[in-house]
Amino acid sequence: MSELLKLNAVETYIGQYHILQGVSLEVKKGEVTVLLGRNGAGKTTTLRTIMGLNPASKGAITYKGEDIKKLPTYLVAKKGIGYVPEDQGIFADLTVEENMKVAIQKDNQETLDRMDWILDLFPDLKKFWKKPGGLLSGGQKQMLSIARAYINNNELLLIDEPSKGLAPIVVEKVMESIIQMKEQTTIVLVEQNFMMASTIGDCFYIIDDGRTVSHGVMNQLKQDADMRRKYLGIA
Amino acid sequence: MDVLLNLSLNGLATGMLIFLLAAGLTLILGLMDVLNFAHGGLFAWGAYSGIWIYSKTGSFFIGILGAILVGFLLGILTERWIIKPVYGNHVQQILITLGLMLVLSEMLKVVWGPNQISANPPDYLVGSWEIGGVIIIKYRLFIIFVGLLVFAAVQFLLSKTKIGLVVRAGVMNKEMVQALGINIQKVFMFVFMIGAGMAALGGVLLGPYSGVIHAEMGLEFAILAFIVVVIGGMGNFKGSLLAAALVGLSGSFMAYYVPDLALAANMLLMAVVLVFRPQGLFGMKG
């Protein structure tokens, strides 16, 4: 499988804090790459750096072979990278319909077909189509955020902790939807829930203190209890 | 009864002028997080340029259009050259926009001289109607009509068009708007332009209402506009209309019944709102 996204020794500052101190990773087309690590390790900052929301100060970020490190966020998104932030980024006063409309870049038949597919995947969105985004439940907000990132036929989705704060039954629903999307797109997933990460993920990168310290295929990590204990604090 | 109605009409007309200034201010503050103390300067430039064009062409309508265009142009230039370098830094924004306010006021004196200029409404808006014993001044009604028309047009833009959706989304979360592939800088410029155009419209309408225009008029109205933004809720367009009406009516009634407390009443109103509802009467918490 060909490489879609590559980070090489990326460093990022947020204010005076040196958050990423050397993150390197390769995302292959069609795979789900999971970023793992303890709280504060730099996983979210890695996604934000790819999007240009916290620009990298050093290193290289290439998407389909093109340098995107210095691009403004909106151009990174226009390259075909969808982003689902940790806080879901729902526009609370806008309805579900309006949240989707803001996201749509091309108003054509392909988008309409994709919208039908999405609404079949997330029937709750259809049910609450005219309801303000701020009134949705946590799970529905997560579904809306994922749907919004997916509506533009993005080749790469960056999804930050989709299970955070959700009830187990809702986590299962979100996980099923990501598994379905996996058939059609490449995903970089930040996830603390190892059960979810290991079910969905094809390969993993572990980030610790702002550096990638280990990577491999997911089955390898499933069998390596020592590594899980050392970097993730789980057995 | 006719006193109450006249005070109400007077208050609503003043409120509409404040609204035209405050509406742009609230969107600029809500979307761009920019404290623009120069907004009153755009209001004054609208007044001077509009009244000047009106005096040269003899058409009040062309004067209004000219003022709006001057507002659009000044808005674009201000955003590109003055505001853009200080995004995200409130202290620098306050200093640079206060400085710009002074420059805009002084430039008015350079171009049109230091004396105040008289401004009269066109013949078709002079005089009044008497309905059931109540005298209704035509020009005040005209201001209320224009204010409501502008409100309806901008409200339509915000609620029914894609750019309006983007502006509303940007007020809530501009980072997310960018992550959806939208160039927020272009949206900023558009909002600034519209806000400046509305301020300039307010300025040119004020001329015949007060009878004279002067270089410091922008600062006087900007204070009222900031009060309206706080009361209405930052970034809340509908809130700015209702708060402007409230401030206009309060000013009008207080000026009639307790003249010494006219401005203090609005300040007091703002203080009470800040204590009990810091997000403004119509703003959302957080």
pLDDT tens, position by position, B19-47: 999 988 988 887 778 888 999 999 999 99
pLDDT (mean) for A36-46: 93
Look up the ipTM and state it.
0.92
How far apart, in whole angstroms, are the C-alpha atoms of residue A179 and residue A135?
27
% of chain B exceeding 70 in pLDDT: 98
State both tokens at A214.
């280990």
Q: Which CATH number does A31-54+73-232 carry?
A: 3.40.50.300
How far apart, in whole angstroms, are the C-alpha atoms of residue A34 and residue B158?
39
- Pick the more confident residue, B159 or B66: B66
pLDDT at A1: 56
pLDDT at B75: 94
How do strand A211-217 and strand A203-208 relate by DSSP bridges? antiparallel
pLDDT at A220: 87
B196's enclosing H/E stretch is helix B184-210
pLDDT for A76-89, tens place per residue?
A: 999 999 999 999 99
Residue B2 in this model has a pLDDT that exceeds 80: no
Nearest CA in chain A to B182: A74
How far apart, in whole angstroms, are the C-alpha atoms of residue B163 and residue B20?
20
How far apart, in whole angstroms, are the C-alpha atoms of residue A216 and residue A214?
7
Task: Residue A135: list chain B partners with CB under 8 A.
Answer: none
For Cα atoms A93, A97, A100, give the angle at the middle one, nearest 5 degrees.
95
pLDDT at A201: 93
Task: Residue A155: list chain B partners with CB under 8 A.
Answer: none
Residue B1 in this model has a pLDDT that exceeds 70: no
> Mutation test of the interface with chain B: which of A74, A86, A90, A150, choosing the one with the most B Cβ atoms within 10 A?
A74
Of A53, A102, A148, the CB nearest to B165: A102
Reported as a pLDDT band with limits 50, 70 and 90, residue A217 is: very high
Give me the domains of chain B, ranges plus CATH numbers.
2-276 (1.10.3470)
Residue A32 in this model has a pLDDT that exceeds 80: yes
Residue A129 in this model has a pLDDT that exceeds 90: yes
How far apart, in whole angstroms, are the C-alpha atoms of residue A130 and residue B97?
40
How far apart, in whole angstroms, are the C-alpha atoms of residue A146 and residue A157?
9
Closest by Cα among A60, A55, A49, A48 to A24: A60
Q: How far is CA A215 from the centre of its chain?
A: 18
pLDDT (mean) for B200-208: 95
Burial class (CB in 10 A: 0-12, 13-18, 19+), B245: buried
Does the beta carbon of B285 lie under 8 angstroms from any beta carbon of chain A?
no
pLDDT at A235: 64
Residue B14 in this model has a pLDDT that exceeds 60: yes
Contacts of B280 by beta carbon, 8 Å cutoff, 6+ apart: B229, B230, B231, B232, B233, B234, B236, B239, B243, B273
pLDDT at B286: 45
pLDDT at B285: 53
The count of CB pairs under 8 A between chains A and B is 59
**C-beta of residue B29 within 8 angstroms of C-beta of residue B167:** no
pLDDT for B102-117, tens place per residue?
A: 999 999 999 999 999 9
How far apart, in whole angstroms, are the C-alpha atoms of residue A46 and residue B114?
58
| Cα radius of gyration (chain B) | 18
Reported as a pLDDT band with limits 50, 70 and 90, residue B284 is: low
Reported as a pLDDT band with limits 50, 70 and 90, residue B130 is: confident
pLDDT (mean) for A140-153: 93
Maximum distance among all Cα pairs of chain B, rounded to whole angstroms: 60
% of chain A exceeding 70 in pLDDT: 99
